[in-house]
Amino acid sequence: MMLIRQAICFCLLATFLHPITSSGLFRVGLKKRRLELDDIRTGRVIRKLKHSQGGLTYYPTLGGDSTQENQVILKNYLDAQYYGVIGIGTPSQEFKVIFDTGSSNLWVPSIHCKLLDLACWVHHKYKSSKSKTYTKNGKPCTITYGLGSISGFFSQDNVKVGGLVVKDQEFIEATHEGSLSYLLAKFDGLFGLGFQEISEGNAVPVWDNMVGQELVKEKVFSFWLNRDADAETGGEIVFGGVDPAHFKGNHTYVPVTRKGYWQFNMGDIFVGDNSTGFCEQGCDAIMDSGTSLLAGPTTVITQINHGIGATGVVSAECKIVVSEYGEMIWDLLVSKVLPSLVCKEIGLCVFGKQTGVKSVVEQEGSSVLCKVCEMAVVWVETRLKQKETKEKVFEDLNKLCESFPSPAGESIIDCNNIQNMPNVTFTIGGNPFSLTPQQYILKTGVGYAETCISGFSAYDLPPPTGPLWILGDVFMGAYHTVFDSGNLQIGIAKTA
């Protein structure tokens, strides 16, 4: 059931193509449908993050000539996801794809789908025999995402994006989509905009070939996501520059710290005026257009959701940790034991080689207790710095347990209380980037069935890649984002 839920965030409406020739701009529009509760539940993370690469750091400024921009116009799928239409082959065969900065391959279903692969057969399929520019490759491949794997083989053909035609692009013909999730999905494939370092088969991404074939003047593409669900235009991707009409003021630029995903370093996080204390020394984060929500470690997402008044599943395990281990956590922190070692010292987070065999239930139980312990450590450490009394700290910590996220990672908000909720602020490049309640709350249903969901979702990625924050469309909808591959940096400015 969870796998099905993890795909519904992709279930966005079919798209249509309408080129606009003025100023050399080309636009691809998307349609939208009403957001459902499962769309929000599953939009938190759409892939299994699995790569870890070294990175380079640069700080140059960004320039651009607006006359050289090539634009892909998007429509908002009620804040769940943003899609566009591309063409493959000659004549062009159209496919609905997710423009995803969190992956690097282009794949679409193949006419050579396996006989019983219903997920493949219900979508548009690439027919190599119908294309004059097709070149056979045949190299097999498999990619694993959070909602299931796809497998198939590489082929080569021309790819049309808006008014740009990328020649001889290597892409994947998917012959097997290994999850029922894909059967329900309205998209056909994925258009990766990440770096080649995480590209399956080391295939050159479409964006790299755009640059290499000199189809764009600047090694920059930018996202504007319109969070107005009723607007005709839901967003825009500009290849080769930025559109000044889509942002206010200047961009704050931060270097890419690890080449693969668009990864950068993020500073402290505040709920209202209160620091969560989790990222004071810095946290790794990625800017990911392929994820609907904003995801982070359970330990601090719980604090954020508690601070904004969200409720999750009342966790008995959480209250057990507070009652049985709270004093020990307090004493170890007062004794200056490193916070990262506290939960290991008391035996709730045990890593490395284990003796004996644990059942799945035992492993999952240990994982929950570890997460609760880590959350408690962060909470107690922060309150110690603020010189709060032990009684007050543990009174609030028990209340915090009631905000521990549900197993799906989501938390519920009282729709009538949105106006009274605090801003949540992320420190990036030394500057504050705030999200208002209207920006971080997603609504589903109407009337008595209306439900409000927190846009902050728990997701724990283990080392060495994690822990990692994933700033998805909840964040990118509030801030215009520039992806500068030439200078290996990301720019962020307030959306106009």
What is the rounded CA–CA span in Å between residue 425 and residue 403?
19
**From residue 116, how far is each of 112, 316, 383 by CA, in Å?**
11, 44, 57
Q: Which entry of 288, 460, 473, 484 is annotated as an active-site residue?
A: 288
- Nearest 5°: phi and psi at 43? -80, -5
101: which 2 tokens? 């900065």
Q: Which entry of 100, 208, 460, 473 is annotated as an active-site residue?
A: 100
N residues, the chain: 496
What is the rounded CA–CA span in Å between residue 372 and residue 378?
10
Contact 420, 413 (CB under 8 A): no
Q: Which DSSP state fits 279? A: S
Per the annotation, the verdict on 39 as an active-site residue is no
Per the annotation, the verdict on 208 as an active-site residue is no
Q: Burial, 229: exposed, middle or buried (Cβ in 10 Å; 0-12, 13-18, 19+)?
A: middle
Rg (CA), the chain: 23
Contact 8, 36 (CB under 8 A): yes
Strands 469-471 and 283-287: parallel
Contact 258, 55 (CB under 8 A): yes
At position 258, the amino acid (one-letter code) is: R
What is the rounded CA–CA span in Å between residue 46 and residue 2?
12
Instruction: Enumerate the active-site residues.
Output: 100, 288
